[in-house]
Amino acid sequence: MVNELEEKSYTEEKREKDILILAIESSCDETAAAVVRNGREVLSNIISSQIDLHTLYGGVVPEIASRKHIEKINQVIEQALSEASVSFDEIDAIAVTYGPGLVGALLVGVAEGKAISFATGIPLIGVHHIEGHICANYIEHKELEPPFVSLVVSGGHTHLVKVVDYGVYEILGRTRDDAAGEAFDKVARAIGLGYPGGPKIDKVSKEGNAEAVDFPRPKVGGSDGELDFSFSGLKSAVLNYLNSEKMAGREIVVADVAASFQKAVTDVLTEHSMSALEAYGFRKFAIAGGVASNSALRAAMKEACLERNIEFYYPSPVYCTDNAAMIGVAGYYEYIKGVRSDLTLNAIPNLRLGER
């Protein structure tokens, strides 16, 4: 399935014609399509969110997600093409997320990508969702090129990654249990803020005192995993605190609990990221994923990087949460390397970064 050509640079002037990628993303609860030119320019970025639907159930219901993707996907793709003012004839490749994610949700995008590829003869490229998140940074930072360190923090993933080159990744640390976004969502539910928790905790924390409750900054033992994360203990500490306050008849100040929890997560993410940058001698750092839009995390990372004279990159919020533009960027770099998928491409719910 993989065919490497001797092509590394992405520079536009080297290419005789523009490369247009149609990207499809359906790994969780957003049905998305985008058209990306030459890997860095977003011509359209359509996102149909199912958040309102899943809010009723307090989280993503996989069966509902798959069904909604099927309903929306054609419309979202048509809109992406029409907003970019391009037709299938002009598209050089179709990039589709094939993992990791919810299997039923992924299958909708993969089947759609394969069907279009089969019907039109346009080459197909399977893209790793986390790779997409990292590549979101290339959209607004034209000067950013590997190597750099990236922290990917989303609802399903928490990874510290060495971006060695385009498409070449080394995992430096990962969560041993809950993902950072998952912890935000669970804590938000426990303090009555509802789903999706991350943005709600972010907002309410602005009114709270981050020093009010001293939640633990969980560390993972062992020299080989010191850049790993663990958030389930922190989540339990919040639940225990809520219980003990309730038992003691004390009123819970939601904004203080939210801000203190957010500070604990932010501290751990910042400390590990800075340790990784120092240990591996990198001067460039990029954050990615839904939690990367958290205002406290962005501020803490910005300050830590400034102190250490490290270039800090982060995408706009629309490119942090799930979108297809980031898949188009990742797909472009695979395309110019000569990577192609065939019609045996399948959804791989637990696909590892760097694997095909």
- Is residue 25 a contact point for Zn ion (CB under 5 A)? no
- Is residue 155 a contact point for ligand KG4 (CB under 6 A)? yes
Min separation Cβ 140 and ligand KG4, Å: 17
Asked whether the beta carbons of 282 and 148 are under 8 A apart, the reply is yes
The window from 87-95, 114-122, 270-278, 316-324 that contacts Zn ion (CB under 5 A) reads 316-324
Min separation Cβ 175 and ligand KG4, Å: 12
Query: What are the residues whose beta carbons fall under 8 Å from the beta carbon of 124, sequence distance 6 or more?
Result: 93, 94, 96, 113, 114, 117, 340, 341, 342, 343, 345
- Is residue 22 a contact point for ligand KG4 (CB under 6 A)? no
Distance CA 195, CA 124 (A): 35
Min separation Cβ 131 and ligand KG4, Å: 12
| Spacing of C-alpha 258 from chain mean position | 22
Sites for ligand KG4 among residues 172-231 (CB under 6 A)? 181, 184-185, 196-199, 202
The window from 1-9, 92-100, 239-247, 315-323 that contacts Zn ion (CB under 5 A) reads 315-323
Number of residues that bind ligand KG4 (CB under 6 A): 19
Q: Which of 39, 113, 290, 331 binds ligand KG4 (CB under 6 A)?
A: 290
Q: In sequence order, what DSSP letters do the residues of 78-99 get, joined into one string? A: HHHHHHHT--GGG--EEEEEEE
Residue closest to 150 by CA, chosen among 40, 329, 289, 39: 289
142: three-class secondary structure by DSSP: coil
The window from 53-61, 176-184, 314-322, 338-346 that contacts Zn ion (CB under 5 A) reads 314-322
Asked whether the beta carbons of 202 and 296 are under 8 A apart, the reply is yes
Distance CA 174, CA 297 (A): 18
Min separation Cβ 70 and Zn ion, Å: 20
Q: Which of 45, 50, 137, 154 binds Zn ion (CB under 5 A)?
A: 154
Q: In sequence order, what DSSP letters do the residues of 184-220 get, joined into one string? A: HHHHHHHTT--SSHHHHHHHHHTTS-TTSS-------
- Token pair, residue 16, equals 């005789």
Asked whether the beta carbons of 92 and 123 are under 8 A apart, the reply is yes
Strand partners, 312: 285
- By a kind-dependent CB cut-off of 5 to 8 A, residue 173 interacts, out of Zn ion, ligand KG4, none, with none
Q: Which of 21, 22, 28, 65 binds ligand KG4 (CB under 6 A)?
A: 28
Asked whether the beta carbons of 3 and 334 are under 8 A apart, the reply is no
The window from 78-86, 154-162, 309-317, 332-340 that contacts Zn ion (CB under 5 A) reads 154-162
Closest CB to ligand KG4 among 38 and 49? 49
Between CA 139 and CA 149, with CA 144 as vertex, the angle to 5 degrees is 110
- By a kind-dependent CB cut-off of 5 to 8 A, residue 291 interacts, out of Zn ion, ligand KG4, none, with ligand KG4
Q: Which of 322, 327, 336, 345 binds Zn ion (CB under 5 A)?
A: 322
- By a kind-dependent CB cut-off of 5 to 8 A, residue 126 interacts, out of ligand KG4, Zn ion, none, with none
Task: Note the residues at the interface with ligand KG4 (CB under 6 A).
Answer: 28, 154-156, 181, 184-185, 196-199, 202, 289-291, 293-294, 321-322
Task: Note the residues at the interface with Zn ion (CB under 5 A).
Answer: 154, 322
